Amino acid sequence: MAHAALNPEHRPIGSPTLAFTIAGEPPSEAMSWLLSGLRRQLEARGHEYRETPDEGVGLVIHVVDAAKPRSFRRRSQAVFVLGVTEVNRRPDNVLSAGYPILIRSLSNLLLYVVNDGQRVEPHFVTLEQGAYPVSADLPEEKLFEALYERVAPLATSRLVINNIFEPDLPEELWNGDELTEQLRWAGKKLDEMNLLPAPFPIQELLSEDEWRHVQRLYSLGGLSYGNLSIRKDATRFWMSGSGVNKADLRVIGRDILLVKDYDEKQGAMVLSVPPHVKPNRVSVDAIEHWMIYREHPNVGAIVHVHAWMENIPSTEINYPCGTYELAHSVAQKVREAPDPSRAVVGLRNHGLTITGHSLEDIFARIEGRIIPQVPMT
């Protein structure tokens, strides 16, 4: 197995171009106009349109019926699905109205279009529970450029969510150690600070067949938000699992996992797990934490929350969770901080990544400064 060494200058490998298709029929002239404009922008930037979602298609623009959302069945996790749906009245809360459609359509990103017959208002809804508009007052081509600039970086980003489970965790760590106790304390602390929104019950919105499909593609146990990690030694760190309740971290190999490497060839995190536990996948942000720990030996812990703080540097593009590109952009901001071992980085339309010498150090610095609502732009 070939393991990657960290190169601070290493750039994301995502392809600058991709083949794309449009699935489904637009329900109105306005939607047809919007899809035609987005297609025109994609083709003008060198992306190839295909009539059908064949083997080489990396982006599917999927027209979704808001009243009866149906999913587009990906062949692989590498396919990015932009769901596009239209409603005739602006809801009181776009996120609340659009998020179930995003989930039911199994989209990576939802373009939620409000068309009242007088005005077409595009909004994006994200899996990270964010919603933000694109100005409907832009000139036509500027509007399509803005849509393209929101979609293309995300569609060409590269997921690092697979895990390689190696059942070699030493027996003396099967029940954890003093570091995992600190993680448990930190998870409860996040709960006390009201920074752990309830895991979104994705399986309650999907049919059994759709849920099995999602599990096969992404190994999801549910959608939960935020994560924690703590350094074990020079190369390894403990981290919270995917889809688990961070306020109740119990089982080693399920709720808390030991990350020991990143396998670049397979695009997967390498985990050391107990041989007697059916392992859970580690948090999708493990690649981000791995990059930071490998580059900065003085970082002892990392906390990620869906909240905000004032006057902090922020990433420019809201790449999806679990992508190499998001990890790279956050690592870059940590590198630029006056003290990378005690950095606070904003993830645009997403949340915060905070480094510290210890978990106690992080909480001492953020308590009283947290803004629960992430600004959406």
Q: Each residue of 210-234: pLDDT tens digit?
A: 666 555 555 554 445 789 999 999 9
Distance, CA of 67 to CA of 88 (rounded, Å): 12
The better pLDDT of the pair 376, 90 is held by 90
Rounded average pLDDT over 151-168: 92
The better pLDDT of the pair 335, 377 is held by 335
DSSP calls for 194-231: T--PPPB-HHHHS-HHHHHHHHHHH--S-B---EEEEE
Lookup: tokens for 227: 């994560």
7, pLDDT greater than 60 = no
Distance, CA of 202 to CA of 297 (rounded, Å): 37
What's the length of the chain? 377
Distance, CA of 316 to CA of 327 (rounded, Å): 13
Lookup: tokens for 19: 């083949």
Q: What is the pTM assigned to this prediction?
A: 0.86
Confidence grade of residue 374 (pLDDT, cut at 50, 70, 90): confident
Paired strand residues for 112: 85, 123
Distance, CA of 301 to CA of 287 (rounded, Å): 14
Domains of the chain: 19-155 (3.40.50.10300), 162-366 (3.40.225.10)
Confidence grade of residue 204 (pLDDT, cut at 50, 70, 90): low
Rounded average pLDDT over 95-111: 88
Q: Does residue 303 contact residue 228 with C-beta atoms inside 8 Å?
A: yes
pLDDT score for 326: 95
Q: What is the mean pLDDT of the chain?
A: 88
Phi-psi region of 20 (alpha: psi -120 to 50; beta: other; left: phi over 0): beta
CA angle 312, 315, 317 (to 5 degrees): 145
CA angle 374, 211, 203 (to 5 degrees): 50
pLDDT in tens, 50-78: 998 887 899 999 999 999 988 887 777 77
pLDDT in tens, 234-282: 999 999 998 888 999 999 999 999 999 999 999 999 999 999 999 999 9
Q: Where are the beta strands (DSSP E) in the chain?
A: 19-23, 48-49, 57-64, 80-87, 109-115, 120-126, 130-133, 162-166, 227-231, 237-240, 256-263, 268-272, 301-305, 344-347, 351-356
pLDDT score for 196: 77
pLDDT score for 9: 40
Strands, sheet with 162-166, edge to edge from the N-terminal-most edge strand:
162-166, 268-272, 256-263, 237-240, 227-231, 301-305, 351-356, 344-347
pLDDT score for 170: 98
Q: Does residue 98 contact residue 121 with C-beta atoms inside 8 Å?
A: no
Q: Does residue 287 contact residue 163 with C-beta atoms inside 8 Å?
A: no
Interacting residues of 178 by C-beta distance below 8 A, sequence separation 6+: none
**Top mean-pLDDT range of 75-79, 325-329, 373-377:** 325-329
Looking at the chain, the whole-number percentage of residues with pLDDT higher than 70 is 89
Looking at the chain, the whole-number percentage of residues with pLDDT higher than 90 is 67
pLDDT score for 16: 61
Q: Which of 152, 156, 158 is nearest to 43 (CA)?
A: 152
Q: Helices (H) and strands (E) in the chain — how many of each?
A: 9, 15
200, pLDDT greater than 50 = no
The better pLDDT of the pair 205, 69 is held by 69
343, pLDDT greater than 90 = yes
pLDDT score for 261: 97
Give the lowest-confidence range in 18-32, 62-76, 135-149: 62-76
Give the distance, in angstroms, between the CA of residue 326 and the centroid of all CA atoms in the same chain.
8
